[in-house]
Amino acid sequence: MAATIEENSLFTILDSLNQEERERLSPQASLSATGLRRQQELRQGYRQHFALDADRILHSRAYTRYIDKTQVFCLVANDHITHRVLHVQLVSRVARTIGRFLHLNEDLIEAIALGHDIGHPPFGHDGEKFLSQLCLEHGLPPFQHNLQSVRFLDQLERKGRGWNLTLHTLDGILCHDGEVHTRMLAPDRGLSFAHFDEKVRAKTDDPEHNLVPATLEGCVVRLADTIAYIGRDIEDAITLGLISRTDIPECCRNVLGETNGTIVYSLVTDLIANSKVPHPGETESKEGAIGFGPEVAEALKDLKHFNYQHIYLAPTTKQDYPLIGDCYRSLFEYYLDHLTSDTPGTSLQVDLMADVANRYDDEHPAAMVRDFIAGMTDDYFLRQAAQIGCKVPAKR
């Protein structure tokens, strides 16, 4: 009896929290009470929908593996260099600050931010390119980490049951592409699982297809992704002696600053000031949008170009990737042979997605290999490659 009374009390608090959201958030914010899941859940919980999503992502196995995934620099014996796990936390904090000042839903922002890079394979964007090429060679669509993030969370986690996240969260994760330069982003308001599934199909068929988040919160995370990495990558590059602070273009330093702290502050402040989001209680129906002023947007574009030329594409950054690419190819072929051969190699000590085999009834075995490799940490990838005889690079 006591437990029932206590639970009823919690549901009463839930109702008041939902009412509070309606009063304090922008009329164009996503309300927790509107969270929609693909599968109806038998047990009604007292947590708000988007807060529950964030909890589920944090408890996923894929989130745990963030701890050893490359952000930009790999195989560096320096504990102060950013890994993927720190990046997603920085995105979450930056995006929540923006969301708080724009009266948007911080729980939804946090859930999207924490889950947005879960599909990244070992060794960052270069690993993504290696895996994509192998997918194409084996009759699969090009590999894209945002699609894989959705796949892990929606279909592969929990032995194939997935986490049954809300449509709002899944859409934000799918549409998070922080690599695309955008000054102002207005949401594509179509919010249904049919529309979401069409987005997935369109992106699968054409990796260049530009997806737009369906919520203002998703738009915030997409731009916060850039804010979180642009200055942090510069600091890491300076720490490693790849560039010096004076190398940053003067036009960028004058507008944004020359340290990660000043760059983040300048970008966040400008974004809050220039975004068009109705205040709580406003009845005027203007279309909401998240974005920068013209001067800051241009400086950010120039800074991105600088990072690509002097950091991401620098020979020093790329020096280990020929060996890593060879390891990708060898592992992919080895695993595929293990799945399709009558006499698979005996040195393989993995289950190759056996616990979710029911998810692959209509798919090529290469899809199982893709998903298995995509879920690896950097160290596990290298251990597996060494086990089958690959030459692997060492930390410096």
- 275-328, pLDDT tens digit by residue? 999 999 887 677 899 999 999 999 999 999 999 999 999 999 999 999 999 999
Nearby residues of 70 by Cβ (< 8 Å), 6 or more positions away: 83, 84, 122, 123, 124, 127, 378
- 63-89, pLDDT tens digit by residue? 999 999 999 999 998 999 999 999 999
Residue 6 pLDDT = 73
Please say whether the structural domain 50-281+288-318 has been given the CATH code 3.40.50.1370. Answer: no
The yes-or-no verdict on residue 111 having pLDDT over 50 is: yes
| Average pLDDT along the chain | 93
The yes-or-no verdict on residue 344 having pLDDT over 60 is: no
Residue 178 pLDDT = 61
Under the banding of pLDDT at 50, 70 and 90, the label for residue 345 is low
Under the banding of pLDDT at 50, 70 and 90, the label for residue 2 is very low
Minimum mean pLDDT range among 40-49, 104-113, 291-300: 40-49
> pTM of the predicted model, to two decimals?
0.95
Q: Would you state the structure tokens that stand for residue 224, as one six-digit string? A: 């916060």
Nearby residues of 315 by Cβ (< 8 Å), 6 or more positions away: none
Residue 45 pLDDT = 87
For the chain, the domains span: 50-281+288-318, 321-387
Residue 354 pLDDT = 80
Q: What is the residue type of 148?
A: Q
Buried b (16+ CB within 10 A) or exposed e, 4-40: eeeeeeeeeebeeeeeebeeebbbbbbbbeebebeee
Burial of 279 (0-12, 13-18, 19+ CB in 10 A): exposed
Under the banding of pLDDT at 50, 70 and 90, the label for residue 1 is very low
In this prediction, residues 199-211 reach a mean pLDDT of 95
Under the banding of pLDDT at 50, 70 and 90, the label for residue 5 is low
Residue 283 pLDDT = 76
